Amino acid sequence: MLHLILYQPQIPQNTGNIGRLCAISRSRLHLIHPLGFKITDAALRRSGMDYWHSLDVHHHADWTTFTASKTRPHGHLWLLTTKATQTIWDTNFTDDDGLVFGNEGSGSPPWLHEAIGNDHRITIPQFNPALRSLNLSTAAGIATYEALRQCTARERASAVPAVLTQSPKGAAPT
């Protein structure tokens, strides 16, 4: 299972879009508080987020609480940031990894960059350097589906019966 971790998100529409992404992709959503909005039943109904109650979502009071949680990812934590040189295409995602996203206003604080480390800071290739960055929910969608693509490709490859990967007797391997 893939985990998406939103560090103190500020815009409810982005969090709602990412929640739908998690529900569709069967990923777990972690919300690191404080949030810039309140999640109430009335607000969820008003915004059409009827799937929210079936979503695998976990709230954490702060980063320390998240890292101590039994529900946290047990794979790598990958910090998505514009301040990285390694791209999502150069990253080897595995099952139970976590994709960490900073908030819409200020991104991730410097201490979080340090905690994650240079080797686990990644970026989405940006072809127009004149623009600042992608929208949070757009970035989450791109990174999530790249990670899922890699994980499911490995699962499919390992499920291919050995007889289909062997050359017939006398044939040269291709």
CATH of the domain at 45: 3.40.1280.10
**Mean pLDDT calculated for residue range 81-97:** 96
Number of domains in the chain: 1
Range of the domain at 118: 3-165
**Mean pLDDT calculated for residue range 139-146:** 98
Q: How far is residue 12's CA from residue 171's CA, in Å, rounded to a whole number?
A: 59
Whether the full predicted model's pTM is greater than 0.75, yes or no, is yes
**Beta-ladder partners of 78:** 99
Whole-number pLDDT of residue 44: 60
Question: Other C-beta atoms within 10 Å of 110: how many?
Answer: 9
85 part of a folded domain: yes
Position 125 pLDDT exceeds 60? yes
pLDDT in tens, 91-104: 999 999 999 999 99
173 part of a folded domain: no
In order of 30, 39, 70, 98, 144, the CA distances from 33 in angstroms are: 10, 12, 17, 17, 22
| Banded pLDDT at 160 (limits 50, 70, 90) | low
120 part of a folded domain: yes
CA quadruple 164, 146, 29, 111: dihedral sign:
positive
174 part of a folded domain: no
Whole-number pLDDT of residue 174: 47
124 part of a folded domain: yes
Whole-number pLDDT of residue 155: 74
**Beta-ladder partners of 57:** 29
Question: Other C-beta atoms within 10 Å of 150: how many?
Answer: 18
| Banded pLDDT at 169 (limits 50, 70, 90) | low
90 part of a folded domain: yes
84 part of a folded domain: yes
170 part of a folded domain: no
